[in-house]
Copies of this chain bind each other. A is one copy, B any other.
Amino acid sequence: MINLSADERLPLYQRLRDHLAARIAARDWLPGDLIPSEGELAALHSISVGTVRKAIDRLVSEGLLDRQQGRGTYVRRARFNSSLFRFFRFQSESGERKVPESRILRREVMPAPSAAASALRIAEGAPVIHLSRLRMIDGEPLLSEEIWLERARFATLLDLPTDTFGDLLYPLYEDRCGQMVATAEETLTVEVSNSMQARLLKRDAGDPLIVIERVAFDPDRQPIEWRRSRGPADRFRYHVEIR
């Protein structure tokens, strides 16, 4: 039997949820893996199957797990197709969505600026990796991104040539740094572009930009990445359902 160590005042299913989330975060099970069956988990922790079900229900609704009747319960593969598809429309919507091309413009280690430090919950001035990146579709620039990562977690990124990063960062984080993005929070605002941003995005200075600030969390709810992306507002479109 394995102990659920967390705060005893919390309900059992909550503690099991946290325990499972931690095991996923620790890459005990990788995305796509089958986790133990409900019965096995119940026996393992000496709790009832109903309680295990409730913990798993939570993780499914949080998007970490995926049930399949008759087969079992899987760790879900992270599929953040990036903010691009949620927030921007493309004229070239001819059928399939393409993954936008990415170009890393800059990579440096620096002391964490205060906004990045507070988003990542680390000390101001602690060493971070800063990336500048431009994302394009059909050669047209759509997002200019500034990305901050705690150096301790992502040191292996520094050994890799930036032109081998590929078009998506999150798979790179998983493969190279063992860091998995599970959820994220984004805040959108509108800004007027300065001349540098305008040049990057091939717009005119003074044109409106959408600014997307994102904090990405691992399955343990620790913030691991902070980024600020800017894209031309004329391409922006966002749809919500409210209830």
A233 and B62 contacting across the interface, CB-CB below 8 Å? no
Q: How far is the CB of A175 from chain B (nearest CB, A)?
A: 21
State in angstroms the CA–CA spacing of A183 and B243 once bound together.
5
Mask for A189-217, Cβ within 8 A of B = 1, else 0? 11010000000000000001010000000
Q: Is A240 an interface residue (CB 8 A)?
A: yes
Q: How many copies, total? A: 2
B237 and A188 contacting across the interface, CB-CB below 8 Å? yes
List B contacts of A239 (CB < 8 A): 185-188
Interface residues contributed by chain A, number (CB under 8 Å): 28
List B contacts of A241 (CB < 8 A): 183-186
Q: Is A170 an interface residue (CB 8 A)?
A: no
State in angstroms the CA–CA spacing of A243 and B62 once bound together.
6
List B contacts of A185 (CB < 8 A): 239-242
**Residues of A near any B CB (own CB < 8 A):** 61-64, 80, 86, 182-190, 192, 208, 210, 233-234, 236-243
Question: What are 24 inter-chain pairs, A to B, with CB distance below 8 A?
Answer: A61-B61, A62-B243, A182-B243, A183-B241, A183-B242, A183-B243, A184-B243, A185-B241, A186-B240, A186-B241, A187-B237, A187-B239, A187-B240, A188-B237, A188-B238, A188-B239, A188-B240, A189-B236, A190-B190, A190-B210, A190-B236, A192-B208, A208-B233, A233-B233
